[in-house]
A and B are shown apart, each in its own frame.
Chain A
Amino acid sequence: MSRPCVTIDGNEAAAYTAFRTNEVIAIYPITPSSPMGEHSDAWAVEGLKNIWGTVPQVTEMQAEGGAAGAVHGALQGGALTTTFTASQGLLLMIPNMFKIAGELTSTVFHVSARSVATHALSIFCDHSDVMAARSTGFAFLASNTIQEVMDFALIAQAATLASRVPFVHFFDGFRTSHEVSKVEQISEDDMRALIDNELVRAHRLRCLSSDHPVIRGTAQNPDVFFQARETVNPYYEACPDLVQKAMDQFGKVVGRSYHLFDYVGAKDAEHVIVLMGSGADTAEETVQYLQKKGEKVGLLKVRLYRPFSIRHFIETLPPTVRNISVLDRTKEPGAAGEPLYQDIVTALAEAKAGGISSFSNEPKVTGGRYGLSSKEFTPAMVKGVFDNMKQSSARNHYTVGILDDVSNTSLEYDPSFVVEPDNRTRAVFYGLGSDGTVSANKNSIKIIGEETENSAQGYFVYDSKKAGSVTVSHLRFGPDPIHSPYLISKANFVACHQFSFLEKYDMLKVAEDGATFLLNSIYSADSVWDHLPKMVQQQIIDKKLKFYVIDAYKLANEVGLGVRINTIMQTCFFAISNVLPKDQAIDLIKTFTKKTYGKRGESVIQMNFKAIDMAVDHLVQVQVPAAATSSIPMRSPVPDEAPDYVKKVTGEIVAGRGDDLPVSAFAPDGTFPSATTQWEKRNIALEVPVWESDICIQCGKCVFVCPHAVIRSKVYDASLLDKAPETFKSVDAKWKQFEGKKFTLQISAEDCTGCGVCVSNCPAKSKTEPDKKAINMSALDPIREKERANWKFFQTLPYGNRKELKLNLVKDVQLLQPLFEFSGACAGCGETAYIKLLSQLFGDRAVIANATGCSSIYGGNLPTTPYAQTPEGRGPAWSNSLFEDNAEFGMGMRLALDKQIEYAGELVRRLSASVGQDLADALLNADQTTDEGIETQRERVVQLKKKLEAVKSDEARELQSLADVLVSKNVWIVGGDGWAYDIGYGGLDHVIASGRNVNILVLDTEVYSNTGGQASKATPRGATAKFAMGGKPVPKKDLAMMAISYGNVYVARVALGANDAQTLKAFREAEAYNGPSLILAYSHCIAHGYDLVKGLSQQKLAVESGYWPLIRYNPDLLGENKNPLTLDSKAPAIPLKDYVYNETRYSMLTKTRPEAAAQLLKDAQEDVRKRWRAYAHLAEMPVNDK
């Protein structure tokens, strides 16, 4: 039977099988497993059925713990149930996994393996998550390739039903979950042939039912628990054979043969590597290569890791083996060895003891770690491992792939060793996220994979920044199957889709001699040469590259595609790469363009067709001169004046050379210096704002709203202008208290993202040219050098002095230094302006607990981080613990501070005689409710420390170490709605109920933004999101009202774009309130689906429509006999539709389900009406209503 070949990624492959072989799917989004749930949800909404002809129920839960609970419940209900997860998500499932396994319940959890957060979070792959779950009693089946993912998902399902042992089916996150590859699609008949319906019914019959009641989940005592726990042994003993039986049956039906352990290599191998996961594919490719060279090497791929069958393992290994090296993709500090290594050592010892060992000489076993957090694992490293084990003094407990100069664990290897065959196209593309490069490449893989006999593989490397992000695509095509799950190091095609990358990245390093180089260039073939950096010119000459250019931006603009040059560059690739005949390729590009964009409308297709037709005509080969003539150097990743650490470590990461940094470059506890974004001048904006000083009214609104803190204002003495650059602008300051002083609004052009939010929010207009505002967007290139100098000078001017400012005024606050700057958030982000405000007002005394999500990514993702410092070296101290525990994490910080303040106070009292009673009293009774009071207390603490130096006692040393806490500190707990409304709600609720003095800032984008737009309980009724494809049918949770119900929580709902003064007031009141405070901040988001330049206008409409009423609930007002609830916005003045239908999240439903959209709009409008009425009623209630 022939099966279709499809070009898909690992997540889709897993979901394809899982969806068809289950009845209930309970999930929660987590990278990199989210797409499995998203596919399942989409298929369910489309009405796709499982192999029994019914549509599975797909449900999003509030957390992975919740998903596991729901899975457990559904299994107890007798439904075939699955879930998808990774990393912390799997960890949260562990308690239920013990239960599910303890109850011998058939299920398969599909896991795209990902690093567990330790010293840092990482979304990338290793096996630390699955290894953390290995004691649960689940079976573990490892897939190494996308084909195996599809196949093993089915084998696991069959085996779990047969064995009753629940399964974790895992594969490598990103490398396998996100790699796109051509696979043979198993059919539903194949699935039916593997799944025994009798076993399905047996599973169902074991359910809890009042028609045949039983009890599970009892509590047992020392008398019986142990015995009862041992009852499962026969099932685990039988499990491996049942898995092999399922594999055999699969082989019979489908034709692909698998075993619990699969061996490849020389039959008389002496040196064997043991490992599991995608790395096994790399090792297999290398073993085959070395075997052809006559080496006696082999590879044992572990498929079924648990239950571990020693017998099968021993039987699979050639008896000639002398050396075994076990590679673990995880680290267990303090263990005798990593888990797989320990299993192999145990297996060999037990085999020998049990007399089943077949080796002529007992093999010597070494173990090593590789590939943590998706660290590359290449054939060169595999060879390095073989080379090591062959030595008599082979290193054990080694690492491979890094340079460990601290513990000296790392193996040496020759990175130039490659095994790839010559008959492959190996293409590397450098693009921008926004230009569509990755989409085009995914399309190309599909074209080649599905329309030709060739194999195809694509893997994509993304940036850690969200704005102006760089993507690198690695594509392989060839007549033979591709087993190379690692990045391309020798490319025969390199494309650069952004000219500016040439001076930033050494992209031609991967080009092999004679390769083709395609460049998107505004310069013609005749003139481009003179604009290339010297190094690039030399590489083109030395490597004899065939060099082509096209002005794709010009063409894209002409046809209406804007900056999306994807179809143009894709066409060029096919035109010159010779992968397919040109005409056939163009026909296929058009066919696939229609498939991709067809549903978006005919006009969109036509635009792309036009681009395809024009691309070939405009592609020109450059005649390469004989010598390099350029004087353009490659750009240094950070400036020379950057601190040493930034130059030696951060700069290397920025330059893309982080892989080469040794272990010693990093602190052992995950600590990094803050304030590093200032050194990474990304120059990602095409246009930046330019100040018109004569139009400006100095209101500070542009500074206030800038999401990236690139617009700053300062008032200073005119005398400081002496050394100002010629183009530095300055006008008289328009403050009464600053009469005679100068004012400057300066833009850090090189840090700007070009979002335009500032310009759209500027209220000042030219009287003669109304389109001209006090700031206007202008091309960056012509002004870059001038503005760089201006910014540098501007930094020498002082920021506003708190004592001279009225911090209740937006205009004044904007003279404060932002201590959050140049983050990697999306251009125009709706969250960051709030964090910036927090940092300006309180940053020099703030400790921030940040929930995982967008704000932890732009707040703490390497290479550079945005939390900054004052000239005195103070600034926010920031940390991210987890997603689910952030409120508790922040409360812990508060508890520590409170204890330390108490203890410090006690010490001051005890040492009052030594430090002086007056100083002691002043320290203990200081009024720190004003900036002045805080400043004075700081001075007292300096005095105290000085006096303590002379005191020779342990108590004095204690107080010295604690003295700083006597200056008021504030704890901020920051996170998104996914945390606050869903996964972290329990903790948040507990923390606000505690009465402790913490400030909680919820950046409410009403959707899980960081993981790609899944619905949360903050998602409003009628909005479309993942897991709410038909429009969310229920209203958003009113978190403000829930918090208000405690009575002692300060609560504010703010929207910067609607009322900046109210936002400022709320932040100040929240910090001043001596108890828990909760600020819900409306945050427009890229996941809302509109140009974020209009973000603040949308905020205004949200408030005017009554959807987002601005409120402040201040319990302190009760003490003044006032109603604590203040409504800061007016009654709904515009219909809800005038606000919501400007956003795709709402309007797309009118294009997909118009009738439902109309009903949901009506219901949502009613929600607004009712809620306003309730708020107005509360705000008008008399305080002493008897």
Chain B
Amino acid sequence: MDLSTEYLGLPLKSPLVISSSPLAKDVDKVRQIEDAGAGAVVLHSLFEEQILIEEKQLNENLLQGTESFAEALNYFPELTRFHHGPEGYLAHISDIRSAVDIPVIASLNGISVGGWIDYARQIEAAGADALELNLYFIPTDPAVMGTQVEHMYTVLVKEITAKIKIPVAVKLSPYFSATANMLRRIDQAGAKGLVLFNRFYQPDFDLDRLEVNPRIVLSSSDELTLRLRWTAILSGQVHCDIAVTGGVHTSDDVIKTILAGARVAMMTSAVLKHGIPYIGDILSGVEAWMEKKGYSSVQDMRGILSMKKIAEPAAYVRSNYMKVLGSY
């Protein structure tokens, strides 16, 4: 059974990719992920905002109370060097790169054009095989128009893909007026992959303290359908590869993403829940299904249920909605 696939021009031994998660912070765990059969690994995100906040906070904390009182002109030893955010992350890329053979995809979340480009270059230099841009932006300002957000995204992708040589995938949210158009523009801007879709931290309320607590919960298979729809719609309509992330929990989920046209299925929550060996179980399940259905390679089954391939493309548009309603 041939599970191999290609994503962002990189050969992968299986279509299951472990997406951005704390698992990738540990080199040993990444080795185990590789051994369990994952095709690639996406590292946790480098957050420019976090780096800037940490730099600012460290500076403020080290300066607090200094040069104010004759006996204590400072409160910390004068250290000659600090490893700020990117340094640790970049070193981690190198460590992972030399520890495993599967492609290592770095993830970046910037806040300034300069920051995005600068960090992208550094990530490339550190040895990442590809870069996933994590476009994680919530336009809370009512004055900001959708076109502005779209423009900002496309310009950013153009800028970055022009500046680095490794392939760039773009992970973004489904919240666009014309999602297909937006994704195609990202494709045209130079992305080699689309990662569908981001899951945001959601606000929750602490009823005892009357406070808002942002939190993120592990995904469930229910979230997959949204991804399947847009994968199926876009498959064959964009040049770049499609990866599905969010809601991939079972072998069936992996199979569905491939049938919809995705190159890879990305998984995190299920692995966090069941452990790294679960990767092997998933892949065995995929193989069993392929065997049962008579597919010898992933390549053969990719996109066969995409909008372009099926007889009734309306299934992905309004009639689908009507059909589901009718089923109740």
Residues of chain A having any CB pair with chain B under 8 Å: 31-32, 34-35, 38, 41-42, 45-46, 123, 174, 178, 432-434, 436-439, 442, 460, 462-463, 466, 469, 471, 560, 562, 564, 597, 599-604, 607, 765, 770, 826, 857, 1009-1013, 1024-1027, 1029, 1086-1087, 1089-1091, 1144-1145, 1147-1148, 1151-1152, 1154
Q: Is B29 an interface residue (CB 8 A)?
A: no
In the complex the two chains form, what is the Cα distance from A1024 to B80 in whole Å? Answer: 14
Q: Is B59 an interface residue (CB 8 A)?
A: yes
In the complex the two chains form, what is the Cα distance from A826 to B70 in whole Å? Answer: 13
Q: In chain B, what residue has the closest Cβ to A462?
A: B70
In the complex the two chains form, what is the Cα distance from A535 to B171 in whole Å? Answer: 65
Question: Are A1152 and B58 closer than 8 Å at their CB atoms?
Answer: no
Report the stretch among B13-21, B60-68, B296-304 that lies at the interface: B60-68
Question: Are A436 and B63 closer than 8 Å at their CB atoms?
Answer: yes
Shortest distance from the beta carbon of A543 to any chain B beta carbon, whole Å: 29
Report the stretch among B81-89, B185-193, B231-239, B279-287 that lies at the interface: B81-89
Please give me the 6 A-B residue pairs with the lowest Cβ-Cβ distance, nearest first. Answer: A433-B68, A601-B55, A1012-B72, A438-B67, A770-B210, A1013-B75
Question: Are A600 and B70 closer than 8 Å at their CB atoms?
Answer: no
With A604-B59, A1151-B84 as given contacts, are A1013 and B74 in contact (CB-CB < 8 Å)? yes
Q: In chain B, what residue has the closest Cβ to A1014?
A: B77
Residues of A near B68 (CB, < 8 A) are 432-434, 438, 462-463, 466, 469, 471
Shortest distance from the beta carbon of A666 to any chain B beta carbon, whole Å: 22
In the complex the two chains form, what is the Cα distance from A1013 to B78 in whole Å? Answer: 12
Q: Identify 5 residue pairs between A and B in the complex whose beta-carbon atoms are under 8 Å apart, listed by A's number.
A: A599-B79, A599-B80, A601-B52, A601-B56, A1148-B79
Residues of A near B201 (CB, < 8 A) are none
In the complex the two chains form, what is the Cα distance from A1152 to B71 in whole Å? Answer: 26
Question: Are A1090 and B61 closer than 8 Å at their CB atoms?
Answer: yes
Question: Are A1009 and B55 closer than 8 Å at their CB atoms?
Answer: no
Given A437-B67, A770-B211, 8 more A-B residue pairs with CB atoms under 8 Å apart are: A38-B78, A123-B70, A433-B69, A460-B67, A600-B59, A1012-B74, A1086-B75, A1089-B64
In the complex the two chains form, what is the Cα distance from A316 to B83 in whole Å? Answer: 57
Question: Are A1013 and B55 closer than 8 Å at their CB atoms?
Answer: no
In the complex the two chains form, what is the Cα distance from A123 to B60 in whole Å? Answer: 28
Residues of A near B328 (CB, < 8 A) are none
Question: Are A1151 and B83 closer than 8 Å at their CB atoms?
Answer: yes
Which of A599, A1011, A1145 counts the most chain B CB atoms within 10 A? A599
Q: Is B73 an interface residue (CB 8 A)?
A: yes
Shortest distance from the beta carbon of B236 to any chain A beta carbon, whole Å: 44
Residues of A near B88 (CB, < 8 A) are 1154
Question: Are A603 and B82 closer than 8 Å at their CB atoms?
Answer: no
Shortest distance from the beta carbon of A831 to any chain B beta carbon, whole Å: 14
Question: Are A600 and B58 closer than 8 Å at their CB atoms?
Answer: yes
Shortest distance from the beta carbon of B300 to any chain A beta carbon, whole Å: 46
Question: Are B71 and A1010 closer than 8 Å at their CB atoms?
Answer: yes
In the complex the two chains form, what is the Cα distance from A1089 to B79 in whole Å? Answer: 14
In the complex the two chains form, what is the Cα distance from A1012 to B71 in whole Å? Answer: 7
Residues of A near B67 (CB, < 8 A) are 433, 436-439, 442, 460, 471
Q: In chain A, what residue has the closest Cβ to B72?
A: A1012
Q: In chain A, what residue has the closest Cβ to B92?
A: A1154
Q: In chain B, what residue has the closest Cβ to A374?
A: B70
Question: Are A560 and B56 closer than 8 Å at their CB atoms?
Answer: yes
Residues of B near A1024 (CB, < 8 A) are 76-77
Residues of B near A604 (CB, < 8 A) are 55-56, 59
B-side interface residues, number (CB < 8 Å): 35
Question: Are A1029 and B70 closer than 8 Å at their CB atoms?
Answer: no
Residues of A near B82 (CB, < 8 A) are 599-601, 1148, 1151-1152
Partner pick for B70 among A174, A436, A1026, A1144, CB 8 A cutoff: A174
Partner pick for B79 among A31, A35, A597, A1029, CB 8 A cutoff: A1029
In the complex the two chains form, what is the Cα distance from A1108 to B76 in whole Å? Answer: 23
Residues of A near B55 (CB, < 8 A) are 600-604
Question: Are B81 and A599 closer than 8 Å at their CB atoms?
Answer: yes
Q: In chain B, what residue has the closest Cβ to A438?
A: B67
Question: Are B58 and A1148 closer than 8 Å at their CB atoms?
Answer: yes
Question: Are B71 and A123 closer than 8 Å at their CB atoms?
Answer: yes
Residues of B near A1010 (CB, < 8 A) are 71-72
Question: Are B65 and A466 closer than 8 Å at their CB atoms?
Answer: yes
Question: Are B75 and A31 closer than 8 Å at their CB atoms?
Answer: no
In the complex the two chains form, what is the Cα distance from A436 to B58 in whole Å? Answer: 16
Shortest distance from the beta carbon of B66 to any chain A beta carbon, whole Å: 7
In the complex the two chains form, what is the Cα distance from A436 to B64 in whole Å? Answer: 10
In the complex the two chains form, what is the Cα distance from A1009 to B68 in whole Å? Answer: 13
Q: In chain B, what residue has the closest Cβ to A174?
A: B70
Q: In chain B, what residue has the closest Cβ to A604?
A: B59
For window 208-232 of B, CB contacts with A under 8 Å fall at: 210-211
Question: Are A600 and B72 closer than 8 Å at their CB atoms?
Answer: no
Q: In chain B, what residue has the closest Cβ to A468?
A: B68
In the complex the two chains form, what is the Cα distance from A1067 to B106 in whole Å? Answer: 55
In the complex the two chains form, what is the Cα distance from A1154 to B90 in whole Å? Answer: 13
Question: Are A601 and B63 closer than 8 Å at their CB atoms?
Answer: no
Question: Are A1012 and B70 closer than 8 Å at their CB atoms?
Answer: no
Question: Are B69 and A564 closer than 8 Å at their CB atoms?
Answer: no
Residues of A near B51 (CB, < 8 A) are 601, 603
With A600-B82, A1013-B74 as given contacts, are A765 and B210 in contact (CB-CB < 8 Å)? yes
Question: Are A462 and B69 closer than 8 Å at their CB atoms?
Answer: yes
Question: Are A463 and B69 closer than 8 Å at their CB atoms?
Answer: yes
Partner pick for A41 among B73, B77, B80, CB 8 A cutoff: B77
Shortest distance from the beta carbon of B153 to any chain A beta carbon, whole Å: 24
Residues of B near A560 (CB, < 8 A) are 56
Question: Are B64 and A601 closer than 8 Å at their CB atoms?
Answer: no
Chain B 34-71 interface 0/1 with A at a Cβ cutoff of 8 Å (1 = within)? 00000000000000000110111011111111111111
Shortest distance from the beta carbon of B60 to any chain A beta carbon, whole Å: 7
Residues of B near A1086 (CB, < 8 A) are 64-65, 75
Shortest distance from the beta carbon of B58 to any chain A beta carbon, whole Å: 6
In the complex the two chains form, what is the Cα distance from A1089 to B73 in whole Å? Answer: 14
In the complex the two chains form, what is the Cα distance from A434 to B75 in whole Å? Answer: 13
Shortest distance from the beta carbon of A1033 to any chain B beta carbon, whole Å: 15
Q: In chain B, what residue has the closest Cβ to A1151?
A: B82
In the complex the two chains form, what is the Cα distance from A1089 to B76 in whole Å? Answer: 8
In the complex the two chains form, what is the Cα distance from A434 to B67 in whole Å? Answer: 8
In the complex the two chains form, what is the Cα distance from A377 to B63 in whole Å? Answer: 33
In the complex the two chains form, what is the Cα distance from A604 to B74 in whole Å? Answer: 19
Residues of A near B210 (CB, < 8 A) are 765, 770
Q: In chain B, what residue has the closest Cβ to A560?
A: B56
With A600-B55, A1013-B72 as given contacts, are A1152 and B81 in contact (CB-CB < 8 Å)? yes
Shortest distance from the beta carbon of B119 to any chain A beta carbon, whole Å: 11
Residues of B near A1148 (CB, < 8 A) are 58, 62, 76, 79, 82
Residues of B near A826 (CB, < 8 A) are 65
In the complex the two chains form, what is the Cα distance from A602 to B51 in whole Å? Answer: 10
Question: Are B69 and A1145 closer than 8 Å at their CB atoms?
Answer: no
With A31-B70, A31-B71 as given contacts, are A1089 and B83 in contact (CB-CB < 8 Å)? no
Partner pick for A1144 among B52, B61, B73, B74, CB 8 A cutoff: B61
In the complex the two chains form, what is the Cα distance from A437 to B66 in whole Å? Answer: 10
In the complex the two chains form, what is the Cα distance from A1144 to B81 in whole Å? Answer: 15
Question: Are A1009 and B76 closer than 8 Å at their CB atoms?
Answer: no
Residues of B near A437 (CB, < 8 A) are 67
Question: Are B81 and A42 closer than 8 Å at their CB atoms?
Answer: no
Shortest distance from the beta carbon of A1008 to any chain B beta carbon, whole Å: 9
Shortest distance from the beta carbon of A10 to any chain B beta carbon, whole Å: 14
Shortest distance from the beta carbon of A477 to any chain B beta carbon, whole Å: 20
Question: Are A1012 and B59 closer than 8 Å at their CB atoms?
Answer: no
Shortest distance from the beta carbon of B107 to any chain A beta carbon, whole Å: 20
Residues of A near B72 (CB, < 8 A) are 1009-1013, 1087
Shortest distance from the beta carbon of B249 to any chain A beta carbon, whole Å: 27
Question: Are B63 and A1144 closer than 8 Å at their CB atoms?
Answer: no
Shortest distance from the beta carbon of B55 to any chain A beta carbon, whole Å: 3
Question: Are B63 and A564 closer than 8 Å at their CB atoms?
Answer: yes
In the complex the two chains form, what is the Cα distance from A872 to B162 in whole Å? Answer: 81
In the complex the two chains form, what is the Cα distance from A1029 to B78 in whole Å? Answer: 9
Shortest distance from the beta carbon of A598 to any chain B beta carbon, whole Å: 9
Which of A460, A1009, A1151 counts the most chain B CB atoms within 10 A? A1151
